[in-house]
Structure 1
Amino acid sequence: MADSNTAAASPAAPHQPPYTYTPNQGYEQTQEVPPEVRMPRGAPHPESDPHDDDDLDDIFDEEDEDELAEDEWSGDAGDLTKSYNRQRQLNASGAAPRSNQQKPKANTFASVDDQVSALSRHAAKIRLDSVKKDDDKDKDKADRATSEQVLDQRTRMILLQMINRGSVSEVHGAISTGKEANVYGAVLHDDKSGDTIQRAIKVYKTAILVFKDRERYITGEHRFKGGFDKGNNRKMVKLWAEKEYRNLRRIYAAGIPCPEPINLKLHVLVMGFLGDRKGWAYPRLRDAAIDGDDVDRQWRNLYIQLLGLMRKMYQVCRLVHADLSEYNILYNKGTLYIIDVSQSVEPDHPRSLEFLRMDIKNVGDFFRRMGVDTLSDRTIFNFITTSAGSVEEPAMSAAVELLYDSRHAAADEDEAAELEVDNEVFRNQYIPQTLEQVYDMEKDAQRLGKGEGGELVYSNLLADQVVAPKRQDGDEEQSTSDSDSDVGAELSGEEASGDESRFEKGTPRGRRFEDKDEKKQHKQAVKEAKREKRKDKMPKHLKKKIVSSTSRRKK
């Protein structure tokens, strides 16, 4: 019985189609349809034994119902699902059929290489920072640790680059330290001549910033319209170093004694060294030791020399130092050297005149302590800002001597006190830089009309023809009479006849009123000019070829 059932074909077994399709004729039966295909669903196989159904009768036997334990199907027996699962694990020969079975989206039969190649296109989008275990790439706080407040790992790499590029050969110890930077000595060995050249390297501080009011020196200057990032100290210091490098180039090009700017990389500036061949730097003006019998005269000459340098910086370099004092000036053999120009601004800066008066005050206070008879701040301000006069020596020294001769000396203590008060008022006086900042324009215009323009505090900022007083000749004074007030006076007959020629109509303007011959000549001249221009014109095919070869667009 079992062998016959096994040999019998299953209704689900595959079969060849019993029909064949022929074009223009339809389907034709080629073989007999198997009986298991024709029988309805659920019908017994025709070759099967009908007695085999006896094996299933015991399932529906009512006598077997009593064999089921009533306690298993009662509500107190527990969860029916758990009972079903236990029976399925004991009796099931395979996995239970799934409900809502779906086809997997990924090809699970594909090889590993195919899967890797499919994912490789998305490799750039995957972040593996947390997975990588490379200690060299990890950033640590120790990388930003500085020695001497300036030398960190990045700064050392910049110094190494400068040595490799030939800017310097050796870097020595610190020459000076300040609130914004440290200056180190360096040496360059010239391979051609064999000489040793002393140089200085200025490294700006990026870790601990003591000089925090840089904003007022940068804000408002057209060279730095973008300003700087207050939250990023390195970007701010980089901009500050670039500012000093630009200012040094202007001053050095004008012939003013100062360090020579050589190279700039981020916050490291390489300059010429102001000192002797052994590497000793020139002393500051505050520490200068002046000897001799005419010490007072030497100090006075240095004062006049410094006023000339300030005027030359303002007129030629178009710069105001903004931090000029005895600490930012070096001295050697009767010559003054200007240093530390990182905060220097142009005259167009909103606070340039305020910085200039501050420089004048600092310079005057120092030289007065040295026993020099100084000029008033207003006189020095006018000497520096006026455009008339020379900007070269010895003409500037002669101009300062004239200022000494023409000044009003105080006769007693009261006049000296008045001059001191006037000096202090000038230091705090408001000076407009544009006409929009003038407080009372009508009042100042009346003073200009009366020829008193020279008394204005901003007279040197105006044009010369505006400030110059009006010149009145004797003829003009004689012609000025009662007839000037008579505005409605009539002209005499002769004057009227002579003035009629002014009202005669001239030749109208426009192409249609031009002479035909002139039009023709103009047209011919234009044609000739275009003909000559076409001779040098590039052929169109060559132009297209050049444009296509130099195009940046990717094709």
Structure 2
Amino acid sequence: MIDDVVKLFKEMDSKDLRILAGIEIGMKHFEWVPAEDIMKYTRLSHSDLEFKLKKLIRNNMVIGTNQPYEGYQIYFDGYDTLALNTLVKRGTISAIGDEIGVGKESVVHEAVKEPELSFGEPQGVILKFHREGRTSFKSVKRTRSHLEGKEHFSWIYAARLAAKREAAIIKELYPDVSVPKLLDNNRHALVMDVAKGTLLYKTKLEDPEWFLNEILRQVALVYEKGYIHSDLSEYNIFVNENGVQFIDWPQYVEVSHPHAEELLERDVTNVLKHFKRKYQIDKDTKEIISEIMNN
């Protein structure tokens, strides 16, 4: 739980953070980072390192093994701590609020960003931690084209790369496409503006035809820029009085992807099914796909 991470983060010292950072670096090369490598990076004595590691393991920041050698991995809470440390130092966030979303591959929290130069009011923001690789590395590699061909990768690599990809596409699309503005990215964490409105599946629209057309217009804008969301549905579209916003971009593909048309059709079909089921609006999927691709 993030509340536990925040509490422990406040109690940690520079040595704890150096150990976590050392394990993070080592996991680029090892599944289990040898204790000797951590000692070299941190420059701690064996006894100091052993004492600190026991505490980090007890607090679910690190996990260890003795087979086939003494080695360690950073755990989710530990990686969250490293990201939080950087984001706080940068002034991107100053407080973390409630968990507002959790899925197989991410956890989303409310957070607060202090105003620059102490002028103005604190800003509510969204803090998203990627969790790719938490359940199955093989599954993640199979469903993420950007991980193909990677013989060695850890869950932190998968999560960090997913966050980096999502940050890159949001910066590429904003502000031409209606997506929340990216404020910062560190490791597996993203900080963004709060999406405007409410999620489509939770909303009863007074003018559903207009909103459907606006969603399809945004899909077309994304396609014009050379991309496809590839995971679009009523669960990651926000609607508000002025329009819509798309969130959750780590699975995007370029229009040159070999399955681009299939993925575009899936996105459009998901949206059309929702509007047909909830508002009895019926549109021809093939016709819409043709308009988007040939516009």
| TM-score of the two chains, using structure 1 as the length reference | 0.40
Map of 1:284 onto structure 2: 199
Structure with larger RCO (C-alpha < 8 A, sep 6+): 2
Deviations 1:171-207 (A, max 9, x none): 1121211221111111122144222211111011267
2: distance between equivalents of 1:233 and 1:213? 12
Cα distance change of structure 1 residues 142 and 204 upon mapping to structure 2, 3 Å threshold: farther
Q: Deviations over 1:450-498 (max 9, x none)?
A: xxxxxxxxxxxxxxxxxxxxxxxxxxxxxxxxxxxxxxxxxxxxxxxxx
CA distance in 2, matches of 1:193, 1:229: 49
Question: Where does residue 185 of structure 1 map in the other structure?
Answer: 110
Counterpart residue number, 1:132? 46
Q: 2:241 corresponds to which residue?
A: 333
Indicate if the aligned counterparts of 1:299 and 1:372 stay in contact, CA closer than 8 A. no
Higher strand proportion (structure 1 or 2): 2
Residue 342 (structure 1) aligns with: 250
Give the aligned partner of residue 260 of structure 2: 352
Within-5 A mapping of 1:166-245: 166-190=91-115, 191-205=117-131, 208-209=134-135, 213-216=139-142, 218-219=144-145, 224=146, 227-229=149-151, 231-245=153-167
Runs ≥4 residues deviating over 6 A: none
Q: 1:244 to 1:354 in 2, by over 3 A?
A: same
Deviations along 1:8-39, one digit per CA (max 9) or x if unpaired, are xxxxxxxxxxxxxxxxxxxxxxxxxxxxxxxx
Determine if contact 1:300/1:372 at 8 Å carries over to the other structure: no
Unaligned runs of 5+ in 2: 1-35, 40-44, 63-74
**Residues 382-435 of structure 1: per-residue CA shift (max 9 Å, x gap):** 011014xxxxxxxxxxxxxxxxxxxxxxxxxxxxxxxxxxxxxxxxxxxxxxxx
Instruction: Find the aligned partners of 1:133 and 1:260 in 2 and give their Cα distance.
Output: 46
The gaps in structure 1 that reach 5 residues or longer are 1-126, 276-281, 388-555
Structure with bigger gyration radius: 1
Task: Tell me the alpha carbon deviations over residues 140-179 of structure 1, each in whole angstroms, 9 at most, x when there is no partner.
Answer: 6446459xxx851231232122112111121112121122
RMSD value, Cα = 2.8
| Cα distance in 2 for residues equivalent to 1:211 and 1:330 | 30
Distance in 2 separating the partners of 1:185 and 1:260? 15
Task: Give yes or no for the alignment of 1:264 onto 2:185.
Answer: yes
Change (3 A) 1:368 1:257: same
In 2: Cα distance, 1:350 partner to 1:231 partner: 25
Question: What does 1:454-469 correspond to in 2, within 5 Å?
Answer: none
State the distance in 2 between where 1:373 and 1:227 align: 43
State how far apart, in whole Å, the 1-side matches of 2:82 and 2:128 are.
15
* Matches for 1:112-511 after TM superposition, within 5 Å: 132-134=46-48, 135-136=50-51, 138=53, 141-142=57-58, 144-145=60-61, 152-190=77-115, 191-205=117-131, 208-209=134-135, 213-216=139-142, 218-219=144-145, 224=146, 227-229=149-151, 231-253=153-175, 255-275=176-196, 282-290=197-205, 295=206, 298-315=207-224, 317-387=225-295
Q: Distance in 1 between matches of 2:127 and 2:294?
A: 36
